[in-house]
Structure 1
Amino acid sequence: MRRTQNINLLLIFLICTVSYMDRGTLAVANPLIRQDLGLSVAEMGVLLSAFLWPYAFSLLLAGPIVDHVKPRRVLVAALIVWSIAQGAAGFVGSYLQFILTRAFLGVGEAPVFPTASRVTKDWYHETDQALRVGIWNGASSFGTAIAPALLTPVMLIYGWRWMFMLMAVIGFIFAGVWYGVYRDLDADALAPNDHHYLYGEGGAPETQSLHAAGWSRLFGFRATWGLILGFFGNVYVGWMFTAWLPGYLEIQRHMSIPKTGLVASVPFLFGLLGSMSGGWLADRLAKRGMTTIGSRKLLTVIGMVVMSAGTIVAAETPSNLLAVVSISVTMFFSLSSSGTSWALSSACAPPVYAASMGAIMDFGGFIGGALAPTITGFIVQATGSFTPALLVAGAIGLVSSAMYVVGIPAEPIRSEAVTPLPSQA
């Protein structure tokens, strides 16, 4: 069991890292693409959001598909689709073509995090899940961190088109590895001690099938809307920096492209540490007697408040050093609260709807994520500064932190409250 868990977690972490490197290629190549295609800052903001809208709405389908079809087949199909889209971006000749490739990249990547959530729910006891969620959730920050450092030299030597095609090849390789290595959980084949670890004394895995009626009933619970509205602000702030940090450092802080490639990596490395730290602490609190929902909710709210404060400080400081430090603090707590929020969604959901609940939450988050690059681009173009855009992001983060406070109840959603009766199915 332990060996299988470690292999699964490593694969999920690496695939999530690749997915965020793919998302970050456009941010890394921002200046050169704007120059080659003759795009304004506002047009680049729209292009940066082109991935996010299809991604957000595809999540609503991705979650139920993962729960129904299971992670192995869904994720290999997703890797193939998004790698084709990423490779096609290397051949675009117009702004519209670029928008279309980014849209298909969003569709292909939608199942990644719901799959990771379902794998964690399947293979770990609830008091061990938050740290594992923190590890694979931290891949979003790790992938974004290493993307500028690894891809900027490729872009400067071979051109930005080869950078996209290289990432496509890497995606195809991981599709083969995932399909060859991962196997979906078969509870009946578990050894007795492994069965006891996952399900406890006399426990048994939930055998109900996922139904469309049950999925739609999730929207009738306060917890679902608390997750949707809370995660909105988290992803808004996180994706604003994911999409615009290189551009922010070049435009607002007047850093060169090579220097930006290094400096832009620093805050996202702190994000990886934050994601793992938040997950570790949430599991520790749960093992010391705090409820899984209570521990994850507390850390999510604290992380959101500090994330918002760091964004506001970065907006107001004239110091480049303090700005980078503040953004690093922001990303540490953004990823900490993001990871505990994913663990919170799993704690709130019935087991058979784990991927569905995570996907619904992520949908709310990436509505914020989709708005962030466009709103930021228009604000910068209208004002000539990133300062108002960062202040807006900080305010949104604070409001969303309150949504977790008022929206998440103390008890999880019961399976019988969601799964329809046989006559209704």
Structure 2
Amino acid sequence: MMSGIEQATPRLKLIQRVALTMLVVAGVVNYIDRATLAVANPLIREELGLSIADMGYLLSAFLWAYAFAQLPTGAMVDRLGPRILLTLGLSLWSLAQLLGGLVQSFGQFFGARVLLGLGEAPQFPTGARVVRDWFNQRDRGLATGIFNCASSLGTAIAVPLLTFLMLTFGWRAMFVIMGVAGLIVAAVWYLLYRNPHELALTQQENRYRTQGDPPGQRTKVTFREWKLLFRFRTTWGMVFGYFGCIYLTWIYTAWLPGYLEIERHMSVKYTGWAAAVPFACGVVGGVFGGYIADMLVRRGVAPLKSRSYPAAIALLGTAACTVAAAYVSSNALAIAFISLSLFLVYVTSTCAWALSSVAVPTNCTASIGAVQNFGGYLGGALAPTVTGLIAQKTGSFVPALVVGALIGVVSAGCYLFAVDRPITASDMDAMSDPQMHPLEVGASPTE
């Protein structure tokens, strides 16, 4: 148990509330913007004369751009700060969204989707850095859960909201409206948010922010330090662990309505509501994962293990529930198991992002989060394609769900056995020795 715990001052509490509120709003806009193409799919294909294969390329363009943009983006967040990077990211993805309403060809649309992926890349690494900057170690889990729940909340809101906008104003206006909304959020973030060094903080406020962190923390990441992250087992455990988390998430994100209609023979009208329930459960799971992480830290569990163990256990539960959903005959039971799957996979997601704030030195927080997210979205980019190919080959979604569950089990093992020690600044200094073998340096035995 921690002793002599500093408490957040009223000013810090206000900063925390404002920052988390804006992160949730930006995250919801982020996920709504991802869904615009899927919602307007039939109308876009008809107007632009695109094939189903063309739409597949457009859908995947975002995912691949988003995944590979993670690698430099995290380091940029750590280098330039959340205020600048999220403002730039929001502005870029909102302009890309706006351009989506003006395109006249496949090539133009493809470019807009790539820009959307590039622009959205800073969102979650920024959230990880904001939580590290403004919250004490014992409070970071719940704060991470709050900003991370925007992903499932945005997904749950997206279909009904975008359908309303599309039917009321047309699909092009839907893109433009969301683009303008994002630009407004970017302006608000820039005007209201400040990085810690931009404010005159008191000694008590700085003690609260840094209590429990290793001493001698640097403020900005260097390219050498960013490269060194890839020489640690913990980094690769986080990458491969998150791969399974996002692979399973995107099976449901991309295929849940289709699965319910094709495999479960549900009507389109019923499917819309049935598909929204599991993602609403994901919102609760995201916050609950953060609560669990904080509770374990307050009970004396090492910060790293307070994240990695719940992430692994929840991912194993997701795998089990995914298999159960595949094999039960009752549609109601299937929805129940899918809802539990999404509840648990968002527990894993929150714990994974909370790992970013305790697994590495402060100046590498967004960098490790983005590297982890890169691994996750390689899984996210593969999941829709692999699931579709397996379902087409076998005539059933059951084998595809089982494959996803197996990937989840392997990824859970990565959290249990590879993410075993935090990376300290002294570890990184030692690893910079050219005589040191990769993955040879362990972190300090105490956490």
Unmatched runs of 5 consecutive residues or more in structure 1: none
Residue of structure 2 equivalent to 1:377: 388
Return the alpha-carbon distance in structure 1 between the equivalents of residues 275 and 173 of structure 2. Answer: 21
Q: 2:69 aligned to 58, 64, 68, which one?
A: 58
- Does the C-alpha gap of structure 1 residues 63 and 203 become closer, same or farther in structure 2, counting only changes over 3 Å? closer
Instruction: Kindly provide the CA deviation profile for residues 144-193 of structure 1, in whole angstroms up to 9, marking residues without a partner as x.
Output: 01111222222233333332222111101101110110011128721222
Q: Which moved more, 1:374-383 or 1:134-143?
A: 374-383
Q: Which moved more, 1:354-363 or 1:165-174?
A: 165-174
Residue of structure 1 equivalent to 2:407: 396
Instruction: Kindly provide the CA deviation profile for residues 338-384 of structure 1, in whole angstroms up to 9, marking residues without a partner as x.
Output: 00011113211111100000000001001101111222233333344
Residue of structure 1 equivalent to 2:206: 195
- Does the C-alpha gap of structure 1 residues 101 and 379 become closer, same or farther in structure 2, counting only changes over 3 Å? farther
**Secondary structure class of the residue paired with 1:348:** coil
How far the C-alpha of 1:250 sits from its partner, in A, is 3.4
- On the 8 A contact 1:223/1:408 being kept in 2, the answer is yes
The residue type paired with residue 221 of structure 2 is L
Q: 1:157 aligned to 154, 168, 174, which one?
A: 168
Residue of structure 1 equivalent to 2:258: 247
Return the alpha-carbon distance in structure 2 between the equivalents of residues 163 and 152 of structure 1. Answer: 9
Residue of structure 2 equivalent to 1:17: 28
- The answer as to 2:413 corresponding to 1:406 is no
How far the C-alpha of 1:421 sits from its partner, in A, is 11
- Does the C-alpha gap of structure 1 residues 234 and 36 become closer, same or farther in structure 2, counting only changes over 3 Å? farther
- On the 8 A contact 1:308/1:395 being kept in 2, the answer is yes
- Does the C-alpha gap of structure 1 residues 133 and 201 become closer, same or farther in structure 2, counting only changes over 3 Å? closer
* Map 1:321-336 → 2, pairs under 5 A: 321-336=332-347
How far the C-alpha of 1:136 sits from its partner, in A, is 0.7
The residue type paired with residue 238 of structure 1 is T
* Map 1:57-96 → 2, pairs under 5 A: 57-96=68-107
Q: 2:428 aligned to 411, 418, 423, which one?
A: 418
Instruction: Kindly provide the CA deviation profile for residues 311-341 of structure 1, in whole angstroms up to 9, marking residues without a partner as x.
Output: 2222223332222212111110010010001
- Does the C-alpha gap of structure 1 residues 160 and 44 become closer, same or farther in structure 2, counting only changes over 3 Å? same
* Map 1:24-423 → 2, pairs under 5 A: 24-34=35-45, 43-186=54-197, 189-200=200-211, 206-409=217-420, 411-418=421-428
Return the alpha-carbon distance in structure 1 between the equivalents of residues 235 and 356 of structure 2. Answer: 8
Return the alpha-carbon distance in structure 2 between the equivalents of residues 422 and 326 of structure 1. Answer: 47
Return the alpha-carbon distance in structure 2 between the equivalents of residues 319 and 33 of structure 1. Answer: 35
Q: Which moved more, 1:363-372 or 1:243-252?
A: 243-252
The residue type paired with residue 370 of structure 2 is A
Return the alpha-carbon distance in structure 2 between the equivalents of residues 41 and 145 of structure 1. Answer: 25
Using the size of structure 2 for normalisation, the TM-score is 0.88
- Does the C-alpha gap of structure 1 residues 377 and 45 become closer, same or farther in structure 2, counting only changes over 3 Å? farther
**Secondary structure class of the residue paired with 2:396:** coil
How far the C-alpha of 1:419 sits from its partner, in A, is 5.4
How far the C-alpha of 1:276 sits from its partner, in A, is 0.5
- Does the C-alpha gap of structure 1 residues 202 and 255 become closer, same or farther in structure 2, counting only changes over 3 Å? closer
**Secondary structure class of the residue paired with 2:357:** helix
Q: Which moved more, 1:44-53 or 1:141-150?
A: 44-53
The residue type paired with residue 369 of structure 2 is G
The residue type paired with residue 319 of structure 1 is S
The residue type paired with residue 206 of structure 1 is Q
How far the C-alpha of 1:415 sits from its partner, in A, is 1.1
Q: Which moved more, 1:268-277 or 1:42-51?
A: 42-51
Return the alpha-carbon distance in structure 2 between the equivalents of residues 45 and 387 of structure 1. Answer: 22
Higher RCO by CA contacts (8 Å cutoff, separation 6 or greater) = 1
- On the 8 A contact 2:71/2:370 being kept in 1, the answer is yes
**Secondary structure class of the residue paired with 2:356:** helix
How far the C-alpha of 1:243 sits from its partner, in A, is 2.1
The residue type paired with residue 361 of structure 1 is Q
RMSD: 2.4
Return the alpha-carbon distance in structure 2 between the equivalents of residues 39 and 323 of structure 1. Answer: 34
How far the C-alpha of 1:303 sits from its partner, in A, is 0.8
Percent identity between the two aligned chains:
46
Q: Which moved more, 1:242-251 or 1:146-155?
A: 242-251
How far the C-alpha of 1:47 sits from its partner, in A, is 3.0
- On the 8 A contact 1:249/1:260 being kept in 2, the answer is yes
How far the C-alpha of 1:209 sits from its partner, in A, is 3.4
How far the C-alpha of 1:139 sits from its partner, in A, is 0.7
Return the alpha-carbon distance in structure 2 between the equivalents of residues 158 and 200 of structure 1. Answer: 52
The residue type paired with residue 427 of structure 2 is A
How far the C-alpha of 1:43 sits from its partner, in A, is 5.0
The residue type paired with residue 171 of structure 2 is W
Q: Which moved more, 1:397-406 or 1:153-162?
A: 153-162
Unmatched runs of 5 consecutive residues or more in structure 2: 1-11, 435-447
